[in-house]
Structure 1
Amino acid sequence: MNQSYRPLSFSLYLNYFVHGIGVIILAQNMDALAARWGSIADVAWVISMLGIGRLIVLFVSGKLSDKYGRKPFILLGIVTYISFFIGILMSPTSTIACIFGILAGIANSFLDAGTYPALIEAYPDSASTATVLLKAFISAGQFLLPLFIGFLISTGAWYGWSFIIAAAILLINLPLIMKYSFPSMNPVKEAKEEGTSTKLASWIPKSKWYLEGICFVIYGYISQATFYLISQWLTKYGASVAQMTDIASRALMSYYSIGSLCCVFFTAFITKKGIRPITLLVVYTFISTISISGLYFIPSGSLAPILSFIVGFSAAGGVMQLGLVMMTEMFPKGKGTMTGVFYTTGSIASFTIPVITGYMADSGINSIMGLDAAIALAGFVVACIIYIRYNSVMKEKPAENQIAA
């Protein structure tokens, strides 16, 4: 493709910077919102609505994205997210706020359904790098928002400015997205129009849904469950299991986040050097299994920060995005549908893991870490199966320089 998609890509990444803000903005403003709505429990209830909104439309929006294109769903995601930020500020009760919480989840699903396929189609030769960079922008938003809210609190400013600024960024980005051209969803037709070889573009891998497809579905659940469990319980682990101080145990999440961000740039660098994403999928999953097992078997205040960094690097630094890229490569006909399927299983993990670990908490926090180690080990086994099947199926792919007769 001769057209440059860099301006479009930046706008897509900017949406995910704001998405990173949207994921944590309710929790970061919990005290102010609780004073308005009644209690901390009311805010927590609204936060839970984000997962429900995401789950109910993700699969459908993915299929519709394949039918109607990527741009409409990205625009819908932006408009819906703006409605969430403004709606929360206008909600007099938590009941009404729940409606806007559901809208935030729906907005996330719309963005996912359009953005991931669009980036994969814009950069087919570096899809893993393009999609993993979304994680960097999410992390940037989640890093900067607490600092900004801390500034608002220290200066006595209105908490609502955090919502207003997030909505304003999206409002500015909206007309930019509208004017940009998106990559073709039909690479075969595009190749013909450009007079280039269509043998590679028209090749469809002979992947089996009952084998490779199921493996990716399971991996979508496991990859989400692995880092979601850690992110929810790492601080508690530091305090009650590793016997760390309150400040030190809270700092574990900082090490975890730094590891996640470092992995994004490391992955982008190493894939450009020729390391295959499918190899990284196996290696990262293996490293996360070892590091989480280390937290379980060797609870130590001195070792926990190092292992937290490694877990963030290997389990939360974009391995889920790598899994999605591999799935769309093996099932290229419906990238939006595959995105919906893959992230729907991840959303299910976001619901089931808190329920399971909530029951386990009474028997000790370290038992939860043991569960995460077992989940990571299962993920490594599934990743190995995916690796074997990927190499078997994709070995039939024509060489890129092969010219059709």
Structure 2
Amino acid sequence: MKDKKYLPSVLIMYLNYFIHGVGCSVLGQAVIKESLATSWGCDPMSITKISAALGLGRLVALPFAGPLSDKLGRKISMFIGGLSYAVYMIGLVFAFNAGVNGGHTIAYVCAIVGGIANSFLDTGIYPAVAEAISDAPGVATMGIKFFISVSQMFLPFFLGVAVSTTATGATSYNHLFWVCGIAYVVLAALILFCPMPDTDSANGEKKQGLIASMKETHFSIESIAMILIGFTCTGTFQLWLNCAQNFAKDVAGWADPSAMQTYYSMGTLIALIVTSFLTRKIKDVRFILAYPAICLAMLIVVLVAPSQTMCTIGAFVIGWAGAGGLLQIATSVCNMIFPKIKGTVTALVMIASSLCNYTILTAAGNMTPSGVMTMNIVLTAVGVLLGLYVNLRYKNLVAQD
């Protein structure tokens, strides 16, 4: 980093994503699902619908969160995102306490707010860290994924520390929700006093909105395939993250599968480091075929031969090949293939990702763990076919450009 004055700002931005690592995956933990399901009198798999609401919130906010960040500044976007995330986390406390008296509904609404918060944090922090560490923007944005993965790796430990028993004898994790919510309020306040480059705003560049950009864009079959890959690759790791522990418990007979989260995060962390070196020698486009193919093979093995060992290996492999930067690589390939419409295609890939998060997880909430695993195999297989098509067309596309 050339300008050291931005160091505290970058640290605060990364801490936002450290807490986000808890917020985006906590509802996928089997112990959390059981705790909430007991309070609300519902099936644990139905909690997956709450996770889906995070994607709905992102869909609501994505079209205008980016332009707001460009026009009003990164601080405003991050401040809105931080406070909204606090509403989501603390709202889960009230949802748990409400029990059968509307607890599920409260959590669903709060999750939508959490998805909106995620959009504002993304559109504020991603460009801000790249602007603050302008000599290595790729490393700066990779640091976001790193902090998320570290947080997710320690999530089982956080859950163990936060667990408590209510006066009625119910298991509660409200302490963790309170800590995360209050931490977001503190970080939102701190960000107002931190220096931000806001390079684009300072240069007076006028940003074109998503709708206006789409009107001027010609969508080829390849661009549509890349947008769909944003959908399929998100489905692969989101279905695993939110439902694999239920599969391990109900099908593989693993009494406490919470350790899967740690192995999943370890795979993601190692992938971030190894893949960053591999991309120097191997074209990015190759990974959008190879990684989904690895995920597909692993998912099939887990479904056919379910066991604690296979679920553990599966968690590591899916963490590596499914969540270890595949969505970011897909976005990078979009930028290389379509350099003239980077903003539009990138935005549409992220919208496709959010749409997947909402639709696929909503569907999963009505299915058995084995059914979800089968759906993940089908979705990932589609991703492999899309990756194969883009790879076959890549040379011609680059030559035309």
Of 88, 105, 114, which residue of structure 1 is paired with 2:124?
114
Of 108, 124, 141, which residue of structure 2 is paired with 1:131?
141
Find the counterpart in structure 2 of residue 260 from structure 1. Answer: 268
- The SS at the match of 1:135 is helix
Q: Provide, for residues 326-373 of structure 1, a one-character-per-residue CA deviation record: whole Å limited to 9, x for no partner.
A: 334555677665554222212222233245556764xx92x6544433
Name the CA shift for 1:67/1:376 in 2 (closer, same or farther; >3 Å).
Answer: same
Find the counterpart in structure 2 of residue 294 from structure 1. Answer: 301
Find the counterpart in structure 2 of residue 313 from structure 1. Answer: 320
2:307 counterpart of 1:283: no
8 Å CA contact 1:239–1:246 kept in 2: the answer is yes
Find the counterpart in structure 2 of residue 50 from structure 1. Answer: 54
Counterpart residue identity of residue 374, structure 1: V
Separation of aligned partners in 1, 2:228 and 2:287: 18
Name the CA shift for 1:297/1:32 in 2 (closer, same or farther; >3 Å).
Answer: closer
Find the counterpart in structure 2 of residue 193 from structure 1. Answer: none
Counterpart residue identity of residue 81, structure 1: Y
Please, what TM-score do these two structures have when normalized by structure 2?
Answer: 0.74
- The SS at the match of 2:234 is helix
CA deviation after TM superposition for structure 1 residue 218, in Å: 0.1
Mean Cα deviation higher: 153-162 or 106-115? 153-162
CA deviation after TM superposition for structure 1 residue 104, in Å: 1.2
Q: Provide, for residues 257-305 of structure 1, a one-character-per-residue CA deviation record: whole Å limited to 9, x for no partner.
A: 332232123234444x554433333332232233233334555665453
Find the counterpart in structure 2 of residue 19 from structure 1. Answer: 20
Counterpart residue identity of residue 54, structure 1: R
Find the counterpart in structure 2 of residue 343 from structure 1. Answer: 350
Question: What is the 5 A alignment of 1:320-331?
Answer: 320-330=327-337
Separation of aligned partners in 1, 2:134 and 2:393: 21
Separation of aligned partners in 2, 1:325 and 1:112: 16
Counterpart residue identity of residue 180, structure 1: P
Of 113, 132, 143, which residue of structure 2 is paired with 1:103?
113
8 Å CA contact 1:258–1:312 kept in 2: the answer is yes
Find the counterpart in structure 1 of residue 209 from structure 2. Answer: none
Name the CA shift for 1:134/1:56 in 2 (closer, same or farther; >3 Å).
Answer: same
Name the CA shift for 1:34/1:379 in 2 (closer, same or farther; >3 Å).
Answer: closer
CA deviation after TM superposition for structure 1 residue 394, in Å: 4.9
CA deviation after TM superposition for structure 1 residue 324, in Å: 2.3
Long gaps (5+) in structure 1: 191-206, 398-405
Counterpart residue identity of residue 195, structure 2: Y
Find the counterpart in structure 2 of residue 376 from structure 1. Answer: 380
Find the counterpart in structure 1 of residue 10 from structure 2. Answer: 9
CA deviation after TM superposition for structure 1 residue 256, in Å: 3.1
CA deviation after TM superposition for structure 1 residue 254, in Å: 4.2
Find the counterpart in structure 2 of residue 144 from structure 1. Answer: 154
CA deviation after TM superposition for structure 1 residue 17, in Å: 0.9
CA deviation after TM superposition for structure 1 residue 41, in Å: 6.4
2:83 counterpart of 1:82: no
Name the CA shift for 1:310/1:125 in 2 (closer, same or farther; >3 Å).
Answer: farther
Separation of aligned partners in 2, 1:46 and 1:355: 8
Name the CA shift for 1:222/1:97 in 2 (closer, same or farther; >3 Å).
Answer: closer
CA deviation after TM superposition for structure 1 residue 23, in Å: 2.4
- The SS at the match of 1:209 is coil
Separation of aligned partners in 1, 2:201 and 2:336: 14
8 Å CA contact 1:61–1:340 kept in 2: the answer is no
Counterpart residue identity of residue 120, structure 2: F
2:167 counterpart of 1:153: no
Of 191, 198, 202, which residue of structure 2 is paired with 1:177?
191
2:204 counterpart of 1:211: no
Counterpart residue identity of residue 324, structure 1: T
Separation of aligned partners in 2, 1:54 and 1:245: 35
Identity %: 30
Separation of aligned partners in 2, 1:138 and 1:237: 24
8 Å CA contact 2:153–2:261 kept in 1: the answer is no
8 Å CA contact 1:75–1:177 kept in 2: the answer is yes
CA deviation after TM superposition for structure 1 residue 78, in Å: 1.1
CA deviation after TM superposition for structure 1 residue 136, in Å: 2.6
Counterpart residue identity of residue 18, structure 1: I
Separation of aligned partners in 2, 1:372 and 1:53: 23
Separation of aligned partners in 2, 1:145 and 1:13: 17
Q: What's the C-alpha RMSD, in Å, of the aligned pairs?
A: 4.1
CA deviation after TM superposition for structure 1 residue 15, in Å: 1.0
Find the counterpart in structure 2 of residue 199 from structure 1. Answer: none
Separation of aligned partners in 1, 2:290 and 2:136: 19
2:181 counterpart of 1:167: yes
Counterpart residue identity of residue 175, structure 2: W
Larger radius of gyration: 1
Name the CA shift for 1:63/1:390 in 2 (closer, same or farther; >3 Å).
Answer: farther
8 Å CA contact 1:62–1:340 kept in 2: the answer is no
Long gaps (5+) in structure 2: 206-216
